[in-house]
Amino acid sequence: MRIRRLDLTRFGRFTDHPLDFGSPEDGKPDFHLIVGTNEAGKSTLTAAIVDLFFGIGQRSPYDFLHGYDTMQLGAALDLPSGTREFVRVKRGARLRDASGQAIDEGVLTAGLSGITREAYRMMFCLDEETLRLGGESILASQGELGQLLFSASAGLAGFGATLTKLQETADAFHKARARSSELSTFKTRLDALKARKDEINVLATTYAQLVQDRDGAAAQYETSLAERGKSKLRLDEINRYLSALPDLAAARALRQDLATLADVPQPPAAWTGRLPELIAADSRLKAASEIASASVERIRRERDGIQLVQSVIEAGPAIDALHTGEARYVAALDIPKRQSELAVITGNLKTLAERLDRRDADPSQLVLPASLVGKLRGLIDRRSGIHERRQSARREHIRASEADAAARQVLEGFGPAKPDESSVARLQLVLDQARASDHVARETSARRIVVQLREKLADQVSQLSPWSGEIDQLNAVRVPTADQIEDWRGRAETIRQSLVTHASEIESLTSTTIELSAKSDSIKAATGLVDHAAALATRARRDDAWLSHRRAMDHATAEAFESALRQDDGITDTQLRQTSQAAELRQAVQGLATASARLKRVEDLHSRALDLKLALERETAGALTAIGLPADMRLSELDRWLSRRLSVLDINAGLKSVSIDLQAAQDDAAAQIERLTSALKIAGIASPEVAFDSLLLSLQAIVDQQKKQRSDLANAAKAVETHSTEVAARKRDLAEAQAIDDEWQRDWSTAVGSCWLGQVPSPPGPDEINQILSLLAEIPPLEAERESLSHRIAAMKQDQEQFAQAVQSIAGTLRLAATDDPLKLAAGLRQQLELARLNDQKRRSKQADFDQAEIVHREAMEGIALHQAEASTLTAFFGVGSLLEVSAMIDQANRRSDLERQLKLLGERVTAACRSETLDAAEAILANLDQSQLETEAATLTARIDGQDREAHELHARHMQADRALAAIGGDDAVARLDEERRTLLVELEEKAITFARRKLGIAAAHQALQIYRETHRTSMLQCASEAFQTITKGAYSGLKTQPSGDKEILLGVMATGGSKLATDMSTGTRAQLYLALRIAGYHEFAKTRPSLPFIADDILETFDDFRSEEACRLLTEMAKTGQVVVATHHRHLIDIARGICPAITVHELPV
C-alpha cells in the first residue's frame, strides 16, 4: 500500500492543504522529501497519516485551530485492489469515500496487512526521540542479539527494558541466594505471629485473677482521688480569701484619694495630646507672622527699583532677524576672491580649445553628443579584443594541426594485437572474489580469541582450587542446585536466628527469675509476709488444730490450737495492714512461676535448634565431599565456586565454537589460494608463491597490465578523433574572427565621419580620438562652474545692500545715530536688546516673589486667629486664664481617671476571689474572716494534700502495673485475632506466589521466543543490518558479527581497523546509527513476507553530519525501491544531498 495523495483538510495548522505524492515510476525509488521550517507541521504530517489509517483519537492535540468535531483528513491510497479515495472525519460514519458514503474499516485494515495503530507507529514511524530510545534499548538488552533483532523489526525500543523490569519484579519476591525478599519477609511475619500467640495463650484462672487485681487497684485509686479533690477545693478557697484581703485594703485607700478630686471637670481625651502642641504653636505663629510681613516690604522695594526700556523690547524680533542677513553680508566680503576664480576658469577653457587645435572656436560648440561619444568609446574598447581574437584564432589553428599529426603518428605505432576483454573480465572476477573474502580477518580474529579464551580458561580453572581435575570431569560432576543451596542457607539462617533468639530469651528469663526471687525474699524479710502457699498451709494447720482440739478438748490441744490460731491471725493481720506489699508479693510469686516455666520451654527449644544445626552441617558436608570440596566450606564460598565453575564451562564452550570458526576460516583460505593459482596458470604464469597475499599481488599486476594496454589504445584512438574535430573548429574560428574585424572597420569610418573629427585633413585613429574624448569631457564641468560663479557674485552684492538697509531702519526707529559700518551698528542693537530683556526677566521674577510673600503673610495671620479661638475653648472649659493653667487641670483629671481604673481593677479581683456580684457583698464576706485562722487551715490542708498525692501515686502505680500485666496477655479473643491474621497472611502469600510463578513462566517464554526469532531471522537480518551499519558509519565499522555468551549471542561491531566493540560500549551517536541500521533491516525483513507500507521518518538526520546524512539517504533510497518512504526535515541542505544520491526523489515544500 502507498499514499498517492494526502489531503490535510482541517487538521492541526493545515487548512485545505493537499500533498500530491504522485504515481510511482517503474524502476525508480518511491522516495519523498518534505521540507519545512520549525513549527511548519512536519510532526503534524506524521500524526495525520496515522490518524487517517486508524482514526482520530478521543483527545487529539491537533484541534487548536479547527474544532475537534470538524477535523477532517483525506487521501487517495494505492491498494492491491486499485486506487481508492478515503475521507476520515470525527463524527458520524468516520471513514467515508469521496462522495461521503460510509466505508467499512476492514478495507483499510486489509490494506494495512492487519497491523494495529501502535504496531504501525512502532514499525513504520521513526523520529529523533525513537532513535534515542533505540540506543538506550541496546544498553538495556546488554547487546543480546535476539532482543535487538526483535525490537528493531517490531519497533519496540523498550522491549529489553520491559523484560529487565519484569525480572527485577520477580526477583524482588524471591531470588536464590538473595539476602532479603518478599518471601522471607512473609516467613518472618508468620514466625512472629506464632511466637506472639504462644506468649499470650495463658490459663483462664490466671486471667481472672489479673482482672480482679486490676479492678481492685482502680477502685482504691478513684477513692483516693476523690478525697484529694475535696481537700484541694478547700485549699483553693482559703487561698482566694487570703489574696483578696490586701486588695480590699488597697481599694478602701483609693476611695479616700478620689474624694479629694471630685470637683475637677473631665475634659475630652484628645485634649491631653493637643495641649502641648497649642503651647508650642503660640510663639511659633507670632514669629512667622512678623517674618512674613518684613519679607513683603523688602521684595516690594527690590521690584520697584528695576527700570525697563519698552521700545527696545518691542523691536526685539526685528533685531533677532538681523542674524540671517548678517551672515550673508559677511559671506559677500569674498566677492573679489570669487571674481579671481571666474577668471581662472575662463582661461582654462581657452587652453582646452588650443589643445584641441580649435583656438578660435567656442569650447561649448566642440562638445560631441553623448550617443556619439558612447559609440566611439565602444568601438575603441572592442578594437583590442577583435584584434587579439584574430591573432589567437590563427595561432590555435596552427597548434591544432600540429597536434592532430602527432596523434595520428602515435595511433599508427600500436600493432594489430589487442588484449582479450573476456579473459581480463575472468581474471578480474577471480581477483574481486578473493578480495571480498573475509577469511583473513576471520582467521586473525579467531586466533586472537582462541589465545584470549585459553588464557582466561587457565586463569578460571586455577581459581577452582582446592578442586582439581579435567574440564570434562568438571562438567560431569553433580553439584547442588540453586534451590538446594538456598534451602541450606534459609535453614541455616532460621537456625541461627532461633539460637540467637533463644539465647537472648534464656538470658532475659534467667535475670527475671533471679529478680523476682530476690524481690519476694526482700518483701518477706521486710514485712514478715508469707506467700500465698505458706498462708494456705498455715490456715490448714489451724483447721487441723481446731479439729484435734474439738475431739480431745484438753489443755495440750488448746495450746496447739491457740498457737496455730495466733500464727494464722498474725499472717492475716499482716496482710490486712500491708495490702499493697501483699499484692506485690503475690505478683512476684506468680511472675516467678511463669518465668521458670518459660525458661524451661526456651531451654528445650534451644537444645532442639542445636540438634538441627548439627544435622544440617552433616548434610552440607556430605554434599561438599561428593564434589571434591572441603567439608567445612561456607555456603558463600560455595556460591563463588559454582559461579567460577559456570564461567569455566562457558569459556570452554566458547573456545570450542571459536576453534570451529578458525578451522572454517583456514579452509576458506586454502580454497582461495587454489583459485588464484588456477587463474595465474590460465594467464600463462606459473607462480612459485603459495602465500595468499603474494598470489593476489601477482594476479593484480597481470590484470593492471592488460587494463593499461587496452586503456592506452582507446586513448590514442580517441585522441585522433578529438584532434581532427579540433582542427575543423579552429578553422571556423579563424574565419569568424576575420569577418568581425572587417565589420568593425566599416562601423568606425561611419562614426568618425558624422562629426567635426571627420572634417580634418587627416582623420585621427582610435588612439588619438581616445585622447580627444578625454579633453572634451573636461569642457562641460568648467562651463557649469563658470555659470555658477557668475550667479553667486551677483547674489552676494544684493545681500550686502539688503542688510545695510535693515540695520539703518531699526536704528532710525530707536532714534540712534547712523554709522558707516552696518556690522558694528547691528552689534550695538543686540547688546541693548539683551540688557532690556534681562531687566524685564528680573522684574517678572521679583513680582512672583512678591505674590508668594503676600500669600505666606496671609496664611500666618489666619493661623494666629485659629490658634487663639482653640485656646479660648480650653481656658473657658476650666475657667482659667492661660494654657499653662489648663495643663495643670488636665493633669488632675488624668490622675482621677487612673485612680478610678485602679479601683475598678481591685474590685474585680476581690469579687472574683469571693465569688460575689458586687464589691460590697465581697466586703461583707471578708469581714467575718480571720486571716491568721485561714493561714493555719491552709498549712494543714497543704500537708494533707501532699500525703494524699503520694498515696494516689502509689495506688496509680499498682493499677497501671496490674493493667500492663493484663494487657501483656491480651483479651479473650486475642488468640483468635492472631489466627485470623495468620490465615490472611497465608492467603496473600498464596496470591503473590501464583503471580510470581506466572511472571517467571512468562519471562522464560519471552526468552525462548527471542531465541526462536533470533535463529529464524539472524542470517538475513544480520547481513542486511551489517551492510547498512557499514554504509551509515562511512566504513568506520566494516560490519556486525555475533559472539556466544552462555545461552545468548552478543552483537559486536567490527571496526575497520580489525578490532571489535560491544554494542554497549559504543558512543551514544553510534548506538543510534546501529539502531537505525537494525530498523532498516527489520523493514526489509517485513517486506519479504507482506506488502510494504509507507515508512515515515521525521527529522531523524538532526544529529548526523553531512557525510553520514549522505549515507543514510543512500539506505533510505534502497528502502524506497521496496516501498514508499517519506522523510521530513527542516535542513534545506539535505535537498542537494538527497538529490545527489537519488535523482528521482520528489521534494515537497510545506508553507510557512
Q: Which of 747, 773, 801 is the last residue of a domain?
A: 801
Identity at 125, one-letter amino acid code = C
Instruction: Give the span between the Cα atoms of 676 and 681, in whole angstroms.
Output: 9
Confidence at 1096, pLDDT banded by 50, 70, 90? very high
Flag the least confident range among 86-95, 326-335, 594-603.
Answer: 326-335
Q: Please state, in angstroms and rounded to a whole number, the distance separating the CA atoms of residues 160 and 1071.
A: 15
Q: Is the per-residue pLDDT at 20 higher than 90?
A: yes
pLDDT of residue 154: 46
Confidence of residue 568 (pLDDT cuts 50, 70, 90): confident
Burial-class residue 58 by CB neighbours within 10 Å (0-12, 13-18, 19+): exposed
Domain boundary among 757, 774, 801: 801
Any domain includes 530: yes
Mean pLDDT over the full length of the chain = 78
Residue count of the chain: 1152
Residue 147 has pLDDT above 60, yes or no: no
* Residue 820, domain extent: 262-315+814-876
Are both 249 and 287 inside the same structural domain? no
> Is the domain of 827 the same as that of 870?
yes
Kind and range of the H or E run holding 1137 = helix 1133-1141
The grid coordinates listed for 340 are: 579671481
Asked whether residue 284 falls in the same domain as residue 227, the answer is: no
Kindly report, residue by residue over 833-849, the tens digit of the pLDDT: 788 778 878 888 888 88
Higher confidence at residue 590 or residue 553? 553
Same-domain pairing of 823 and 959? no
Instruction: Look at residues 88, 132, 115, 52 and name the one whose alpha carbon lies nearest to residue 1076.
Output: 132
> Is the pLDDT reported for residue 1138 higher than 80?
yes
Q: Residue 747: inside a domain, yes or no? A: no
Q: What is the mean pLDDT of the segment spanning 765-773? A: 76
Q: Same domain for 351 and 496?
A: no
Residue 1097 within any structural domain of the chain: no
| Nearest-angstrom CA–CA distance, 399 and 749 | 35
Mean pLDDT for 116-128 is 84
For cell 498525692, what's the residue?
Answer: 949
Q: How far apart are CA 965 and CA 209, in angstroms?
A: 11
Question: For the residues 151-172, what does the mean pLDDT come to?
Answer: 61
* pLDDT confidence bin for 444, thresholds 50/70/90: confident
Cβ-count burial of 142 within 10 angstroms (0-12 exposed, 13-18 middle, 19+ buried)?
Answer: middle
At 629 the three-state DSSP class reads coil
Higher pLDDT, 19 or 643: 19
Q: Is residue 580's pLDDT more than 60?
A: no
Q: Is pLDDT above 80 for 149?
A: no
- Tens digit of each residue's pLDDT (9 = 90 or more) over 713-753: 777 778 778 878 888 888 888 888 888 888 888 877 787 77
Cβ count within 10 A of residue 310: 9
Q: Is the pLDDT of residue 915 over 90?
A: no
- 454 falls within a domain: no
In 3D space, the residue among 629, 248, 634, 354 whose CA is nearest the CA of residue 465 turns out to be 629
User: Helix/strand/coil (H, E, C) string of 1047-1059?
Assistant: CEEEEEEEECCCC
Q: What residues have CB less than 8 Å from 795, skipping those under 6 apart?
A: none
789 assigned to some structural domain: yes
Q: Using the predicted structure, report yes or no on whether residue 251 has a pLDDT greater than 80.
A: no
Mean pLDDT of 1104-1114: 85
pLDDT of residue 157: 40
- pLDDT, tens only, 960-980: 877 776 666 655 556 667 777
Residues 486 and 632 in one domain: yes
Same structural domain, 510 and 609? yes
pLDDT (average), residues 1043-1058? 74
SS3 8: strand
| Strand positions, DSSP E, 942-1034 | none
Residue 609 maps to a domain: yes
Q: Which of 285-294, 410-419, 832-841, 1039-1048 has the lowest mean pLDDT?
A: 410-419
Is 463 a residue whose pLDDT tops 80?
no
The pLDDT value given to residue 18: 92
- pLDDT tens-digit readout, 27-43: 889 999 999 988 888 88
Q: At what angle do helices 532-552 and 579-627 cross, to 10 degrees?
A: 130
Nearest in space to 495 (alpha carbons), one of 601, 602, 611? 611
- Please give the angle made by the CA atoms of 220, 221 and 226, to the nearest 5 degrees: 100
Contact indicator for 529, 585 with CB cutoff of 8 Å? yes
- Average confidence (pLDDT) over 692-718: 73
Q: What is the pLDDT of residues 354-400, one digit of tens each?
A: 777 777 777 777 777 878 778 777 877 877 788 787 888 888 888 88
Same domain, yes or no, for 936 and 849? no
pLDDT of residue 1028: 85
- Helix (H) / strand (E) element for 85: namely strand 82-89
CB contact at 8 A, 1050 and 144? yes
The more confident residue out of 1100 and 627 is 1100
Q: What is the model's pLDDT at position 1146?
A: 93
CA separation for the pair 342, 718 (Å, rounded): 76
Of 264-273, 965-974, 1127-1136, give the range with the top mean pLDDT. 1127-1136
Judge if 351 and 219 occupy the same domain. no
- Percentage of the chain lying above the pLDDT 90 cut: 6
- Mark which of 963, 982, 1012 sits at the end of a domain: 963
Q: How far apart are CA 221 and CA 949, in angstroms?
A: 11
Residue 18, strand partner residues: 7
Of the chain, the percentage scoring pLDDT greater than 70 comes to 86
Residues 6+ apart with CB under 8 A from 47: 12, 62
The yes-or-no verdict on residue 524 having pLDDT over 70 is no
Provide the pLDDT confidence category of residue 145 given band limits of 50, 70 and 90: very low
Under 8 Å between Cβ of 907 and 921: no
- Give the tens place of pLDDT for each residue, 806-830: 777 777 777 777 677 777 777 777 7
> Is residue 350 located within the same domain as residue 301?
no
Strand, coil or helix: 56: coil
pLDDT band at 290 (very low <50, low <70, confident <90, very high): confident
Give the alpha-carbon dihedral of 872, 876, 882, 886, to 10 degrees. Answer: -110
**Assigned domain for 756 exists:** no
Beta strands across the sheet bearing 95-96 = 14-20, 2-11, 72-79, 82-89, 95-96
Is there a single domain that holds both residue 572 and residue 519?
A: yes
Which tens digits make up the pLDDT trace of 477-507?
777 887 888 888 788 888 888 888 888 888 8
Element (H, E) at 531: none
Give the pLDDT score at 694: 72
Please count the other Cβ atoms lying within 10 Å of the Cβ belonging to residue 1099.
Answer: 19
Give a yes or no: residue 953 inside a domain.
Answer: yes
Tell me, what amino acid is at 785?
E
Question: Which of these, 1014, 1031, 999, 995, lies nearest to 1114 by C-alpha position?
Answer: 1031
Averaged pLDDT, 792-800: 76
Q: Are residues 516 and 617 in the same domain?
A: yes
Number of domains within the chain: 4
d(CA 1101, CA 1119): 16
Handedness of CA 640, 643, 645, 647 (dihedral sign): negative
Q: Is the pTM of this model over 0.75?
A: no
Q: Write out pLDDT tens, residues 311-325.
A: 777 777 777 777 777
**Looking at residue 688, what is its pLDDT?**
60
935-955, pLDDT tens digit by residue? 787 878 887 787 777 777 777
